[in-house]
């Protein structure tokens, strides 16, 4: 009886080796590339027979080493047989942790791992399985998934490349806090400031998030956006009609706010037990502060015209 071969060390032509279609591409490592060019490949590239092409091999670990060799060169490889898609991540993860990785890289890696498990065995328990295999807590995996979503949002909003790269190196806690900001405009403003101030402390970031997501700032941001859109369509000259229309819009907005407050007040009066929570008190206080600031700003405008 012959024992089935599980792995084999040997040389394969680089032209038969291809990057994994499952694993996310790792960040460029200039030191590693220079070391390989100087001393050659010191550790074998871990591969598996390609599940798509006979006679070809898919990289499990060693993408950067592979990119540093010539296509006609014979490369030392460690071939692993009978490795399924989820085991690819388990094998890669052992070397993935050998050196420091950016939060961005880790978020991509664990998100891709989760998707692969979901595609193989369904979504139930997939997140817990990633956490167990990667020796992370379920909360940590959840944080990385949310951070991965954050970077997708940033890319969709065409954030400047310099800012995007600066955010990659931020810590998990800070990026997780940013990822929880739902409003895209506020998120982009906070992201820009984080990129410009990479040493910002977590508590400073939380204060910034609180300021940028406050009701008064949200109102101000909407006003700024609408004003910018109007400026693109209309001339820059201040006319009486523009001033009159602006005041009418403000009056209508305040009327609608008053109607909402009346409904809100009547519902609280009708069933106060439903609203007895610290979060409700906090939100009402924030709304009140926002209205006071609007009143203060209106008085300032009136005084400027006297």
Mean pLDDT of 59-64: 84
For residue 290, which of 257, 265, 252 has the smallest C-alpha distance? Answer: 257
58: in domain: yes
**Mean per-residue pLDDT for 190-206?**
94
CATH number of residue 14's parent domain: 3.90.1530.10
Residues of the domain holding 35:
1-84
> Is 221 contained in some domain?
no
Q: Which residues contact 256 (CB under 8 A, 6 or more apart)?
A: none
Q: Is residue 60 part of a domain?
A: yes
Domain end (from 30, 54, 84): 84
Cβ proximity of 15 and 75 under 8 Å? no
75 within domain boundaries: yes
What are the strands, taking DSSP E only, across 113-233?
none
- Same domain assignment for residues 247 and 207: no
The verdict on pTM exceeding 0.75 is: no
User: Do 138 and 167 share a domain, yes or no?
Assistant: yes
Q: Say how many domains are in the chain.
A: 3
Question: Does residue 36 lie within any of the structural domains?
Answer: yes
- Could you give the percent of the chain with pLDDT greater than 90? 34
Is 193 inside a domain boundary?
A: yes
Q: Which residue has the tokens 């040493």?
A: 199
Of residues 101 and 247, the one with the higher pLDDT is: 101
Please report where in the chains the tokens 């460029």 appear, as a residue.
Answer: 28
Any domain includes 219: no
pLDDT in tens, 17-40: 998 888 888 766 666 666 666 666
CA distances from 122 to 115, 149, 194, 299 (A): 9, 20, 37, 60
């Amino acid at each position: 009886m012959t024992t089935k071969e599980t792995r084999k060390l040997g040389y394969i032509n680089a032209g038969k080796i291809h990057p994994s279609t499952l694993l996310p591409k790792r960040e460029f490592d200039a030191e590693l590339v220079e070391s390989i060019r100087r001393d050659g490949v010191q550790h074998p590239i871990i591969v598996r027979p390609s599940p798509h092409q006979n006679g070809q091999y898919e990289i499990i670990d060693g993408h950067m080493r592979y990119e540093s060799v010539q296509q006609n060169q014979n490369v030392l490889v460690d071939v692993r047989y009978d490795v399924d898609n989820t085991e690819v991540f388990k094998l890669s993860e052992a070397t993935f942790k050998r050196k420091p990785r950016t939060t961005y890289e880790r978020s991509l890696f664990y998100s891709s791992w989760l998707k692969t498990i979901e595609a193989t065995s369904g979504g139930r328990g997939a997140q817990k399985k990633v956490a167990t295999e990667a020796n992370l807590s379920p909360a940590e995996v959840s944080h990385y998934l949310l951070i991965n979503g954050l970077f997708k949002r940033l890319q969709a909003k065409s954030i400047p490349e310099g800012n995007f790269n600066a955010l990659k190196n931020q810590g998990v806690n800070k990026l997780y806090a940013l990822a929880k900001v739902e409003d895209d405009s506020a998120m982009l403003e906070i992201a820009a400031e984080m990129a410009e101030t990479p040493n910002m402390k977590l508590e400073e970031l939380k204060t910034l998030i609180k300021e940028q997501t406050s009701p008064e700032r949200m109102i101000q941001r909407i006003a700024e956006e609408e004003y910018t859109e109007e400026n693109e369509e209309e001339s820059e000259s201040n006319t009486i009609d523009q001033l009159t229309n602006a005041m009418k819009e403000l009056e209508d907005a305040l009327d609608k706010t008053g109607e909402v407050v009346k409904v809100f007040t009547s519902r609280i009066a009708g069933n106060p037990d439903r609203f007895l929570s610290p979060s409700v008190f906090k939100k009402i206080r924030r709304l009140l502060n926002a209205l006071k600031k609007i009143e203060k700003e209106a008085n300032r405008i009136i005084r400027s015209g006297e």
